[in-house]
Structure 1
Amino acid sequence: MNTSGADAEAGGPAPDCPELGFYGLAGHTDDPRALLDEITVAEEIGLGSVFLSERFDTKDAAALAGAAAATSRTLGIGTAATNPHTRHPLVTATMATTLHRLSRGRYALGLGRGFDVLFDLMGLPRVTSARLEDTVDLLRTLWRGDAVVDHHGPAGDFPYLRRTAEGVDRIPILMVALGERTLDLAGRVADAVVLHTFFTDDTLARAVKTVRDAAEQAGRDPQSVRIWSVLATVDESIPEDLRLRKLTGRLATYLQGYGDVLVRANGWDPQVLHRFREDAEVRAHSGPIDAAPTELLVHIRSLLPDEWLAASATGSAAQCATRIADQFDAGADSVILHGATPSELVPVVAAWRTIRDPARFVSLPANPGRSTP
């Protein structure tokens, strides 16, 4: 029996808090099966979506999203993100079609630029805005059931591409965006945008405006693009050494990889970034800092201004809930509570329920890439 895209979107029970998401297996893990327990708890406490970042170790986006689709009933599922050129476009289209139908329409494909240095080492080209946009066009053509014939563009040269699956699949595309150019591109072509952790509230407001302005200039409804803020959320019930890893370690890892872009986006002092990068202990450490020994994290904490780490949700559960509200006040449609597992988020979500306005979020669908049902 053929299952068309329309059939796949029959839907199911709605999550209690569709406006909230979390990252599955946040950070490093050697045990991807832990995701299954995270999904169980997430649905029990009413979280709306699980986001799955991809690393070239035990975090393959397709495998994790398949597990999430098979074990969840209400959660939206989004890759945030995979890269447009680590899989052939037809393979990516097939992956997304499978996950879309497996989840009955709860899946959104997330694309991002990734790390230039890593792609240099892998022998892959760096990802440009043109490549992202061309990939989006190719995927949507394939999901409509149309063929791609004699294509020559930034995404590559393809004589003939066509899915064997029948039907039309309305699969939303998320775009993970940090810099101005990617925000503008997302507003023009994406269904939803996932912003970046450690955005200040002012930066978040500017990013929202950039996305919505770009959508309007492209002739789209600016409100049709769902914007997800990403808020590092580490409340005081989490042990101190783990809080250090989830905040200082996480921010320092970003500063390692693309600190210039994050510092520029927030208007932070680039000299602080320079001193961090030139620090002898930082330079001597190999690998991501969020996996570093506690002693190094304590040292790195002394290098980073309080202001930089304040772009997060910390303190009591009630204080964290207030910081969630700040994200909506700055213009976000939804918030990813980043860095904590659903079990760790239990008190924060409970506190959020006491101040949230249910009417504000009642029309949000489970699928994280959609702004309306």
Structure 2
Amino acid sequence: MAGTAVRLGVLVLPEHPGPEGVRPWRVAEELGFDHAWTLDHLSWRTLRERPWFDAMTTLTAAACHTGRIALGTLVASPNFRHPVVTAKEAMTLDHVSGGRFVLGVGAGAPGPDGAALGGPEPAAAGRATRFEEFVTLVDRLLRQPVTTFSGRFYTAEDIRMIPGCVRRPRLPLAVAATGARGMRLAAGLGDMWVTIGDAGVPGGQSEAEAFATLRGQLDRLTRACRSAGRPPGDVRRLVNLSRVVAEPYGSPERLADLVGRCAELGFTDVVLAYPREEGVFAGDMRAFEEAVTRVTGVTGQRGSD
């Protein structure tokens, strides 16, 4: 991005069917975004009865129709994923994309996804424990050609991960976390930390309250990194701005101001939601393009699809 150290990303919901489903990803690359993400759920909130596709397959298609932009999950969780299969898919996507894939992971929230594997859905403490084991095993699988592991939740016996990731020792992990245990995990194993602000009420705080929440979270991450003996600057810090404030691209000036405020707090990466015609993340595409191109420094007209 021109004029700032912050990398700008976009969230594209996995709802676009058919061959035209790759269009938003090409647009994102043409607009100068540094990275593009999709949600990894079986269904999501108010869109449960609408078309909704698999995240890994969606990103594979995106990888085949782009050449520069980084691609990732925001975020995969153990609610319905096993770490062995997740790691194999991530390694594969890393190769398909030519080393552009980022595996975003989170503990998962209560809801339909949590019941997909059967059995009782764990409470918050149980999800945190399961998530820690999930990330630990994914990390090992992606780092070494053969892994054997026996834990409370997962077992892996003589699992091959050949040829391994394009990037060594493994592709980047982006860890979504707000609690103390998750922050420690991000500080210990994460290449990036992810937040949507107050996860209990996404977008429900005033702008002043939201930025105060983000400031507090960044302070806790810094303390977690220092406790882990890791320089805080080693972990990139990403905020999904469209889950934090309203109309983040209402004007080019507003987006530039918000990105600047995030940078001042210490964020290295800011994500916006790709505009939808209605409902969640509804927005005007022309305003989106105008604001984003002002911030990214891209000039000229996008090519036709």
Alignment partners' CA distance in 1, 2:60 and 2:228: 34
Structure 1 residue runs of 5 or longer lacking an equivalent are 1-14, 233-250, 252-308, 355-373
Alignment partners' CA distance in 2, 1:145 and 1:120: 29
Alignment partners' CA distance in 2, 1:321 and 1:107: 27
The Cα of 1:182 is off from its aligned counterpart by 2.5
The Cα of 1:148 is off from its aligned counterpart by 2.6
**Paired positions, count:** 262
Match of 1:157 among 150, 155, 158: 155
In structure 2, the partner of 1:346 is 289
Q: Per the alignment, in what secondary structure is the counterpart of residue 47 of structure 1?
A: coil
Question: 1:97 touches 1:169 (CA, 8 Å); kept in 2?
Answer: no
Q: Per the alignment, in what secondary structure is the counterpart of residue 105 of structure 1?
A: coil
In structure 2, the partner of 1:107 is 101
Match of 2:36 among 50, 59, 72: 50
One-letter identity of the residue aligned with 2:261: D
Q: 1:179–1:144: structure 2 CA closer, same or farther, 3 Å change rule?
A: closer
Alignment partners' CA distance in 1, 2:13 and 2:245: 23
1:97 equivalenced with 2:107 (yes/no): no
In structure 1, the partner of 2:281 is none
The Cα of 1:35 is off from its aligned counterpart by 4.0
Equivalent runs, 1:293-312 vs 2, <5 Å: none
CA-based RMSD of the aligned residues comes to 2.8
Normalising by structure 2, what TM-score? Answer: 0.75
Question: 1:85 touches 1:155 (CA, 8 Å); kept in 2?
Answer: no
The Cα of 1:314 is off from its aligned counterpart by 5.5
Q: Per the alignment, in what secondary structure is the counterpart of residue 108 of structure 1?
A: strand
Q: Deviations over 1:184-208 (max 9, x none)?
A: 4322321111210537111111111
1:79 equivalenced with 2:73 (yes/no): yes
In structure 2, the partner of 1:68 is 62
In structure 2, the partner of 1:36 is 22
1:335 equivalenced with 2:278 (yes/no): no
Q: Per the alignment, in what secondary structure is the counterpart of residue 76 of structure 2?
A: coil
Equivalent runs, 1:192-211 vs 2, <5 Å: 192-196=192-196, 198=203, 200-211=210-221
**Could you tell me the percent identity over the aligned residues?**
26
Alignment partners' CA distance in 2, 1:80 and 1:60: 13
Q: Per the alignment, in what secondary structure is the counterpart of residue 292 of structure 2?
A: helix
In structure 2, the partner of 1:23 is 11
One-letter identity of the residue aligned with 1:145: Q
One-letter identity of the residue aligned with 2:9: G
Q: 1:205–1:64: structure 2 CA closer, same or farther, 3 Å change rule?
A: same
Q: Deviations over 1:128-168 (max 9, x none)?
A: 2232222222222222234333x321332334323243575
Q: Deviations over 1:18-41 (max 9, x none)?
A: 700000127xx3626554111221
Match of 1:231 among 210, 220, 241: 241
In structure 1, the partner of 2:147 is 148
Q: Per the alignment, in what secondary structure is the counterpart of residue 254 of structure 2?
A: helix
Q: Per the alignment, in what secondary structure is the counterpart of residue 313 of structure 1?
A: coil
Q: Deviations over 1:348-370 (max 9, x none)?
A: 1133257xxxxxxxxxxxxxxxx
Alignment partners' CA distance in 2, 1:225 and 1:169: 16
Question: 2:32 touches 2:296 (CA, 8 Å); kept in 1?
Answer: no
One-letter identity of the residue aligned with 1:165: P
Question: 1:187 touches 1:210 (CA, 8 Å); kept in 2?
Answer: no
Equivalent runs, 1:153-302 vs 2, <5 Å: 153-165=151-163, 170-196=170-196, 198=203, 200-232=210-242
The Cα of 1:169 is off from its aligned counterpart by 5.1
- Between 82-91 and 179-188, the greater mean CA deviation after superposition: 179-188
Specify the structure having the higher radius of gyration (Cα): 1
Alignment partners' CA distance in 2, 1:179 and 1:339: 28
Alignment partners' CA distance in 1, 2:7 and 2:162: 35
Alignment partners' CA distance in 1, 2:32 and 2:249: 21
Q: 1:154–1:33: structure 2 CA closer, same or farther, 3 Å change rule?
A: farther
- Between 161-170 and 107-116, the greater mean CA deviation after superposition: 161-170
Q: Per the alignment, in what secondary structure is the counterpart of residue 116 of structure 1?
A: coil
Q: Which runs of 4+ in 1 moved over 6 A?
A: 15-18
Question: 1:132 touches 1:155 (CA, 8 Å); kept in 2?
Answer: no
